[in-house]
Structure 1
Amino acid sequence: MSLAPAWLRERRMLPDRWRDEHTRTLIAEDRAGESIGAGAMWTSRVHPDRYSVDLVVAPGHRRAGIATALLAALADLQPAPKPFIWGAAENDPAHEFVATLDARTIQRSPLNTFHTSRAVRLRPHDDVAPAAAVSRVALEQAWADMYEWTHADWHPMGPDARGALVEDLWDEIDPHLSSIAISATGAIDAVLLVFIDGGRPVVAGETVSRDTTAGTRLLEGSVRRTFDQLAERWVAETLLDAHETDPHFAPLFEALGPVTRWHRIVEFRP
């Protein structure tokens, strides 16, 4: 049984310095020694340029400057000054707090669940095949290439991040549900992976290059195949890990959605 108060149990607050000096956790207490707030910051091995941050304050102590104090204390612990990055549903009241810090929106992603039955709205493509049809090395390379360019403009990868990105990939995906588009030369032009390490499948991908010819059409065929495969396994709903700036995936949202709920990611300095 957890000894944490109810308001803290749903948050993943790891012990202070659980990995290194870039992973810090602080607890705010009242005069009686009771926990009334918590804050954590950490860097990603894939995206080391910013600190991810999470803050939570007990319901009876909100709007009293506790979150601001926790954030300032975390900033003081940074070995090197870096911006913070944080995200939540657009209707999350915490966006009002980060707005006071001049937070800048850097990305939005759909939060809706998508019905696999909507695959019939998309066209199949002859160049699309199961991801299991290619080698592990080839798929990892395609995934890393895709991930790098789709994040370059708003959350760039670190110089040595590719290994960390694909380190646990094969434990997280189903290569038979996942899809790729293969060119006449055998190159992978698009990759769409199905992550099955959570409660509900998550579909993510894009073209391997930003300037892939007929990229939206290749993504359309890839999504069609993957959604069909999910439906055959009686999976009625899935999530998308995609961005409104994805040039070939975003145009498909309307056919699959429409998107009515968004996750907004912001950057700010304390």
Structure 2
Amino acid sequence: MTPVAPQAQPLVRISNVWKKRGHNTVLKGVNMVADQGSVVCLLGPSGAGKSTLLRCINAIEMPDRGMIHVDNDPIGCRKVGDQFVRLSETDISRQRAEIGMVFQNFNLFPHMSVLENIIDAPMRVRGESRATAVQRAHELLERVGLADKVNAYPRHLSGGQQQRIAIARALAMRPKLMLFDEPTSALDPHLTDEVLDVIKNLAQTGMTMIVVTHEIQFARQVADVAAVMADGVIIESGPARQVLTQPQDPRTRKFLAKSLQA
């Protein structure tokens, strides 16, 4: 008999997540799964709710309703009897340490060298020794192609280099999951490829990733799953090649046509 390949296990489960900001309902019952080792690209027009969804996964914001689980751990809360109770900020920080997030605008500490930016959280949050953190930092800088920038400061780096350092800093925490929020949107076009190449290489290592991006060609090359959002809901989701070449929803077709013309 031909052996049956084991099914991938969900690492992220998003169940009926709602989020309101003022009078505006940003997320309207979002459901999504990201399997262990998969790359999910979140696509859609500005204001669709993509960044808010990432921020809820990382407990930067909390959903008003619904649940998010990462590795079967309910994010931001714990179950007590039949009720879910919000976690303390200390426990939320512990959960957030397992989830790396790379933002649009780098968020490096300007007063710290590249090395200090990378080793700060592993030493402070994980309790790693300086020697261990430094060794890991050198390995990650080699991986992102910036081994020679170890003593540089953010102001001396290009935007693309700063974003690659931000990726190395997130990886230094050895996260279960990586979230990318439009990681190239603040970059000049000629710097975009160097960041996307790092993310492509990371995908090949089996890291589970959810990437908000407007780079359709990148999504075709890297994503296992493409999920298209509009007006706070996922309007279409499935194998990336299928969704991006044969979209079923007219709103997806309109979005892809507009993106490819840009």
Which has a greater percent of helix?
2
Q: Is the TM-score greater than 0.5?
A: no
**Which entry has the higher C-alpha Rg, 1 or 2?**
1
Superposition TM-score, scaled by structure 2 size: 0.26
